[in-house]
Amino acid sequence: MPDTPTFAPAIYQFMQIKRVHTCTGHRASVYALAPGRDSRHFLSAGGDGWIVEWNLDSPETGLLAASTESNIFSLCVLPGSRLAAGNMNGGLHWINLREPEKARLVQSHKKGIFDLNLIGNRLFSAGGDGVLSVWNTETQYPETSIQLSAAALRCIAYTPERDELAIGSSDTRIIFLNASTMAVTGEIRDAHTSSVFSLAYSPGGNTLLSGGRDAFLRIHSLSENGNWIRDPRSPDLAAHLFTVNHIAFSPDASLFATASRDKTIRLWDFRTGQLLKVTDVIRHGGHVNSVNRLMWTADVLLSASDDRTVSIWHAG
């Protein structure tokens, strides 16, 4: 089992995190979170095929916004009250929330769609078949597909400053592309010792965080010649006990949070790379199964879990 990271006790004690509410109702693991109609609403989706809308002002009851017959792995909000939802079989559901019964399913990937990212009017999907596809959100069909790996593509990150995509692969690589041309511009080999499960660019795009199945968190920064290199802030010990499933920056980018199969959420100081806080079941009412996804919205942090719940946290 990997070692746990060290941290400064004084900083750890100062940082506070409190569970505000736990949203219940899903009948299977929750894998995806997405923004709702405004900053007080959000969406969740998971293994039950349900897409549920929640109101932060009255989170006791969720509203079933749409449903599919497939496990949903990824979710993306599109303009005009529309959604794209990637399923475990490699299909993409196109859903209009005004007419959810008219949802359209297009099969593209041969295996599950693990992540989605909208850039302008193009939707990028990362498939378990190692293919990155670009979809036209009006025609709802893929325009371009590129085979990037023989292994699964697990995550997508984008920075507009360089119009750059970073793709995390189960072959241990992070692959970089120009988002407009789809040209591969570089890669980090052996970014992790196993699958790269999560990626997040910092605001400004000069730092890239990666999380792996090896439980490590890596911090990468740009060198003077524009190449990605290991950042001095990058922890030398495992950040979690098991897979780092997701990484999310706080709105002011002073913090970032990591979610793991070890059932915890960990909060980090972005400036120093210092671990600040770890949630657990006893002290914080944390999750009892894998934490799969995170999202900051309004003044709270959301976490989705295999325990079929979404928790709402206040951190500060």
pLDDT digits (tens, 9 = 90+) for 226-256: 889 989 888 888 999 999 999 999 999 999 9
Q: Could you give the percent of the chain with pLDDT greater than 70? A: 96
Cα torsion through 99, 101, 106, 112, rounded to 10: 110
For residues 172 and 196, the answer to whether their CB atoms sit within 8 Å is yes
Residues 128-170 pLDDT 10s: 999 999 999 999 999 999 999 999 999 999 999 999 999 999 9
How would CATH label the architecture of 9-315?
7 Propeller (2.130)
Q: Say if residue 195's pLDDT is above 50.
A: yes
Domain ranges of the chain: 9-315
pLDDT at 38: 94
Looking from the CA of 111 toward its CB, the CA atoms found within 13 Å total: 13
For residue 145, the model assigns a pLDDT of 97
Spatial neighbors of 15 by CB under 8 A, at least 6 apart, are 267, 276, 277, 315, 316
Q: Computed from CA positions of residues 229, 222, 189, 234, in that sequence, does the dihedral angle turn out positive or negative?
A: positive
Say what the pLDDT of residue 83 is: 98
CB 206 within 8 A of CB 262: no
Residue 12 has pLDDT above 50, yes or no: no
